[in-house]
Amino acid sequence: MFTDNNLGSLNPRVLKNSNQYQSTFGFAKVASTILWLLFFANLAFIVFNSTEALKFEYRNVIRTNGFTFLIWTVVTFFSAIISTYATNYVKGFRYYNRFLLLCVAFTVSVMLLVVSNHIVLLLGSWLLMGFFMARLIGVDKDWTEAKAAANYAQRFFFIGWLCLSLGVLLPAFTLDIFTLESIILSWNNLPLYITLISSIGVIVAAMIQSAIYPFHRWLLSAMTSPTPASALMHAGFVNGSGILLTLFATLIVASNTFDILFIIGGLTAILAQFTKLLQVNVKQKLACSTIAQMGFMIMQCGLGFFNAAIVHLILHGFYKAYLFLSSGEEIKQTVPQKELDLKIKPLQALLVLVFGTLGAFLFTTLTGKGMELDSSIFLTLIVAITVGQITYNIVKQKSLSMIQKLVWPPLLFIVGIVIYALMYNGITILMHDTPMAVVAIPVTPFEIGFGIVFLIGFFIMKLGFYRRIPWLYVKLLNISQPFKKSVLTYTKSN
């Protein structure tokens, strides 16, 4: 029986007989097996071939490199995991075959995007990604709210496609060049106003895809999708902006629009973290968390570290897929608890400061970021904040002894940062032939000022000061509401 633990029973449309169920189950096993085979094939191809052997081109239509196979491996892994999970989760759901077909079609569209060299194929695959994801949001065609959410999201996706089309077709027709590889090499031959218009089009398309403020509401409204579809959406679809911006990194450099990415990413990260604290629904909390993480990813692109954005994209995919697929069990085992007061003692503050500094030093040593006076300093600062937050979450636990509070923080951040460094260095090697994958930019007073504002906003959020400002609390609550027609207001669909 198909139910969603986060939304309650969805008035399931069950299969009529056992023969229909057996055929559906058989199709699910075939689809899951194909996805697993694709994942292992891509993984083996990366492991057992040099980066030069990963390059392939066919008639200026498609091309592959290390970055292509990296994304293929990631997306097929997530799709295989989710399809396997869905085999039991949506057992008996009337539209299960449709759900599986859409998952496979979405996976293929992402794979097609990263292999595209001709702009027609690029734009077509981006359009198909949005179409298939909208259909997944509204996979239950008999549910009124699901249809409303799907149509609402589809409008955003179409606007994003139009913006991307503007960003790609304008330079293509100006240069009379229609392959992505050639356009990437020709930005300096275009007038500045064309590169600016193109970059704005690409950036807006990326913002819509990742639900960056003020285009965030479609993601908050997409909770009508089954949890496996939500996992695929949050682990794969919204991360598409990181892929897009990496493909067009040379355009961001040519138009010098780093600050735009840095600002919109930072503001979104803070706003989404604020709104996450106000949610009472698990899926809404996870949606706000995803928006915040996409903000951090956009910030990394704004700092010139597109390779770091891809690492973030992959790690976020693993983390968010797990949270969605385990959310039902989390709800079942959760009991109401009184919110803890955020108070920190002098000794706890000292531990947070010491371990945060040590974490930042280890991160700098292993990745090489933060050693120069450039934009990588901000990434190191974020690591220090993250380590400090982990430390505080541990030292405030009354059930832990002092020895445990001294041992656990360094153990966790050492393991975490080492794993991150290995992934960062490995992905950087795979992306070595991706133009402008790393473009550390000089630090300006403007960026320093915004960084200070970002830190102030972070501490206001963590210390809960916003709760003492009624107008701010209400404003944050309002901007985190989904599209009204996608909200379940009755239990029986029209």
What's the rounded mean pLDDT across residues 340-345? 58
pLDDT over 70, % of the chain: 86
- For residue 438, what are the β-bridge partners? 305
* pLDDT on residue 270: 84
Place of tokens 């916003």: 466
**Kindly report the CA angle at 126 between 120 and 128, in degrees rounded to 5?**
100
Residue-range domain boundaries for the chain: 3-322+476-482, 346-443
At 196, is the pLDDT very low, low, confident or very high (cuts 50, 70, 90)? very high
Tell me the C-alpha distance between 417 and 282, whole Å.
28
pLDDT at 303 over 80: yes
Averaged pLDDT of the chain: 80
Tell me the C-alpha distance between 276 and 290, whole Å.
10
- Whether 224 and 146 have beta carbons less than 8 Å apart is answered as yes
How do residues 57-70 score in pLDDT, each as one tens digit? 888 899 988 899 99
Tokens representing 322?
């797990």
Tell me the C-alpha distance between 158 and 480, whole Å.
22
- pTM for this predicted structure: 0.85
Tokens representing 336?
């109401």
* Residue scoring higher pLDDT (181 or 440): 181
* pLDDT on residue 331: 54
At 9, is the pLDDT very low, low, confident or very high (cuts 50, 70, 90)? very low
* Residue scoring higher pLDDT (16 or 381): 381
Tell me the C-alpha distance between 160 and 157, whole Å.
5
* pLDDT on residue 206: 93
What's the rounded mean pLDDT across residues 412-417? 82
Virtual torsion, Cα 70, 73, 79, 84, nearest 10 deg? -150
What's the rounded mean pLDDT across residues 297-323? 86
Q: How many CB atoms lie within 10 A of CB 489?
A: 8
What's the rounded mean pLDDT across residues 85-92? 73
Look at strands 8-9 and 56-58 and give their pairing: unpaired
* Residue scoring higher pLDDT (348 or 375): 375
Tell me the C-alpha distance between 218 and 212, whole Å.
10
Give the residue ranges of DSSP H helices in 248-335.
Answer: 249-255, 258-276, 282-302, 306-325, 327-333
pLDDT at 166 over 90: yes
At 345, is the pLDDT very low, low, confident or very high (cuts 50, 70, 90)? low
At 167, is the pLDDT very low, low, confident or very high (cuts 50, 70, 90)? very high
